Structure 1
Amino acid sequence: MPDHATSSHPAVQRQLDRLMTLGPGADILGLGRITALLARIGNPHLALPPVLHVAGTNGKGSTCAFLRAAIEAAGLTAHVYSSPHLVRFNERIRLAGQLIEDDALAVLLEEVLDASEFAGGNIGASFFEVTTAAAFLAFSRTSADACVIEIGLGGRLDATNVVPAPAACAIAQLGIDHQAFLGDTAEVIAGEKAGIAKRGVPLVTMAYADSVAARIAEVAAAAGAPVLAQGAAWDFEVAADRLHYRDAGGTIETPLPALAGPHQPANLALAIATLRQQQHVAIPSAALAAAATAARWPARMQRLAAGPLLGLLPPGSQLWLDGGHNEAAARSVSAALAEVAGERPVHLVLGMLSNKDATGLLAPFVPMARSLTAIPVPGHAHHAPADLAGIACRLGIPAADTAEDPESALRRIASRLPSHEPLPVVLILGSLYLAGEVLRANDELPD
């Protein structure tokens, strides 16, 4: 199902209406359509600034945020392509540091959609393929020092995997997700992610289980790409509230990331390694250190500011948001939540797409959660809230019920808080689509 996309700009909405008809099917992965579409618009992917290409099951978005922050801290500019958007479609295409403007976006989408549908017959390009082509076209027409490109799904057959010679490729944390497209084992999924490897281009990776690392090495060797793995080519540790990074070129010390969670130092270190292993964009050590506190990535353990949703809870409560939707993400997010909550009671608000593993997501939160309120994910096929509440009860979460939306869920939590307990920490989680609705409702639009 394509991502919902609406705009208050009439010209953008006309093109989004066209785009929304391009729903991907089970056979959507492949490079044939995107290659044909790019050829019709002048092959813009061959005229991009140096590309940093990032794959992974979890953490790839945060890694891209650190990459962008480091490039900008060096006084340079970066285009960024990421997905999905949370509130506005424009979030997917960042031109030299700024989200693409509505007027430019409308013209761009019309040009690419017309090329896909009318210039020589309908290619049958998907939502993501058209979006990718539009981003590459925009990037080729606007000057910047680098491109940060996040894989949409998998790697080998992802529409972004047409750039022939990136400056560097990176793979973040790996886990089991999107099995219908990528396979059912960690090794098969790793092979798909490693499919971004290119001849002579450094492939920078985290440390993985031996069988997973072996599969990545096999795919990279076939492509002629050197693998620069954590623990061999580079490494890091956290000590005395600092991140200490090291590789053959020396050491760098940075503050700990401003992004919440014990998993974020690894994402920062991966970004540092990626920038230090490429030869196309010069990033001084001071800029790498600055990226730790400058990076922002909405809906990834984001503490929500004062707004309509937070106002539904007693003053002094904390409201957090995370779009994580698989077991690996849940382990990281639950650890982050335990850190920020301390001794305060924790309550969960959960909405999940129907093709996600609710039991795997919830299990890491069971030891700390006082309650769970399950809600729908508007506009998407989702787990019935009553089913999610039932899973929570079976796992041992003390109280579980349902609500119609985030506002109703927060009101319900607030109404049953014991007066003698510390103020709560509430986490809304389970879907990036839900996260977008939450940000909109709390008047926190990503910029």
Structure 2
Amino acid sequence: MPTFPTLSPWLEYLETAHPVGIDMGLARIGKVKQALGLTFACPVFTVGGTNGKGSTCALLEAMLLAAGYKVGCHTSPHLLAFNERARINGEIASDEQLLPHFEAVESARCSFPEPVSLTYFEFTTLAIMHLFAASGLDAVILEVGLGGRLDAVNIIDTDCAVVTSIDIDHASYLGDTREKIGFEKAGIFRTGRPAICSDPVPPQSLIDHAQEIDADLWLFGRDFNYQGDKQQWSYGGRSLRRAALAYPALRGANQLLNAAAALAALEAMRERLPVSAQDMRRGLAAAELPGRFQVLPGQPAVVLDVAHNPHAAAVLGQNLDSMGYFPYTHVVFGAMQDKDIGGILKHLVDKVDHWYLSALPTARAAAPEVLEQKLLAAGFRTDADHSVQRFASPEQAYLEARKVARDNDRIVVFGSFYTVAGVIAQRKLERH
């Protein structure tokens, strides 16, 4: 049984330990969960959806922390360091905290006559859950990695499930229609437990599945809602009203939808985890999440957004329109080859003057030449004021954009997590 003194070699080992990166199904991970004796003594929130999962987790976490609860939050993927995937009380878990739980999972995996093979995500999710189970928490928040029904996170029977939005992404795994994807996302619902969906037009498959298993389905527009003006907003649920709420610290067009979903989850769970109106306000104001329409201070304006499917790109386009006037918009973009790149670009092609297309440090990435073909196919034309360039890395692309952009322009960095992570790393280098 291998064991390593630090986290880095563990992660390197896990990257090659299982024959394929994504291997849907709960049989293998379920066996190891049993061998670990993994259970939670506190309420668990499971959050799935195409977009908005990370934001909803961050808002839920911030409000529960403001109320004084001890909270564990597991999200993925990470931007700069693996440890970002595990937070306890708002703090990123240290290597020292994580290591014993990596060893526990490896030991459980190898306790069978034939050791159980786990993917990187399955193994690390179990390790983080095991850490949370040992940490005396009041609440646990688990973000679904991919889909829902067959995702590693779904080995836990959640106390409250949230599905944020349903759109086409990961079609080769989840299906190529909203109905097929809705069924996969609804797989996190449980009989008799709150099942919250904040998609304004949920697929019928999700509603049918909730009814079939007799989950307590909360639909946006029917069971909960929000209203807002420029200054403040209000939430209305089944029996809870919250008026004069400040806007969430997370910026962007969809954040009220995500905040309403988080408040519906808290309303549904308030007998076990009461949160006062004041703590809700404090939590909404304190929530943080890098790379979700994150506007950095200074000039030129820099926007970071991990929008990597057409639905998220449409929201990013709306958010850019609401920012006001900039003479030129410079965009650093890199994406995975299995994404609907044409569908992503069509929402932004008329909002961008200069494109800086980037390769990414993974074999799954689309080559800059491919991105350029898709951009031209989407209708982008170069002239004296419009250009396309290709780069070997997001860092190089960003440095070139910085060189060209004037103070009153804006630079938008979007696409894969790798694109945004590369630019965050470059900015850190510049500061030190």
With structure 2 as the length reference, what TM-score do the two structures score?
0.92
% identity of equivalent residues = 30
2:259: which partner in 1? 268
Q: Provide Cα deviations, 1:195-236, integer angstroms capped at 9, x if missing partner.
A: 111011010112443xx4421111112222021101111111
2:109: which partner in 1? 116
2:74: which partner in 1? 81
Distance 1:412 1:438 in 2: 12
* Aligned-residue offset at 1:283: 1.0
Alignment of 1:238-317 (within 5 A): 238-253=228-243, 254-278=245-269, 279-304=271-296, 316-317=299-300
* Aligned-residue offset at 1:374: 0.3
2:211: which partner in 1? 221
Alignment of 1:3-402 (within 5 A): 11-23=6-18, 25=20, 28-42=23-37, 44=38, 46-117=39-110, 119-164=112-157, 166-209=158-201, 212-253=202-243, 254-278=245-269, 279-304=271-296, 316-397=299-380, 398-402=386-390
How many residues were matched structurally?
419
Summarize the Cα distance change of 1:220–1:72 in structure 2 as closer, same or farther, 3 Å threshold: same
Distance 2:253 2:112 in 1: 50
Q: Tell me the secondary structure at the aligned position of residue 442 of structure 1.
A: helix
Contact 1:96 1:142 in 2 (8 A): no
Summarize the Cα distance change of 1:264–1:387 in structure 2 as closer, same or farther, 3 Å threshold: same
* Aligned-residue offset at 1:241: 2.2
* Aligned-residue offset at 1:122: 1.4
Aligned residue identity for 2:302: L
Q: Tell me the secondary structure at the aligned position of residue 248 of structure 2.
A: coil
Aligned residue among 415, 419, 424 for 1:430:
415
Contact 1:48 1:147 in 2 (8 A): no
1:410: which partner in 2? 398
1:442: which partner in 2? 427
Contact 1:95 1:138 in 2 (8 A): no
Summarize the Cα distance change of 1:350–1:290 in structure 2 as closer, same or farther, 3 Å threshold: same
Contact 1:349 1:426 in 2 (8 A): yes
Q: Provide Cα deviations, 1:385-407, integer angstroms capped at 9, x if missing partner.
A: 02212322332333212122233
The list of structure 1 runs, each at least 4 consecutive aligned residues, that deviate by more than 6 angstroms after superposition, is none
Summarize the Cα distance change of 1:350–1:10 in structure 2 as closer, same or farther, 3 Å threshold: farther
My pick for the range that moved more, 280-289 or 177-186, is: 280-289
Distance 2:231 2:268 in 1: 25
My pick for the range that moved more, 293-302 or 54-63, is: 293-302
Contact 1:220 1:226 in 2 (8 A): yes
| Runs (5+) with no aligned partner, structure 1 | 1-8, 307-315
With structure 1 as the length reference, what TM-score do the two structures score?
0.89
Contact 2:163 2:199 in 1 (8 A): no
Distance 1:262 1:125 in 2: 38
| RMSD between superposed Cα atoms in Å | 2.0
Distance 1:111 1:66 in 2: 31
Contact 1:96 1:143 in 2 (8 A): no
Contact 2:178 2:203 in 1 (8 A): no
* Aligned-residue offset at 1:271: 0.5
Q: Tell me the secondary structure at the aligned position of residue 381 of structure 1.
A: coil
Contact 2:334 2:394 in 1 (8 A): no
Contact 2:360 2:394 in 1 (8 A): no
* Aligned-residue offset at 1:341: 4.5
Contact 2:357 2:372 in 1 (8 A): yes
2:383: which partner in 1? none
* Aligned-residue offset at 1:133: 0.9
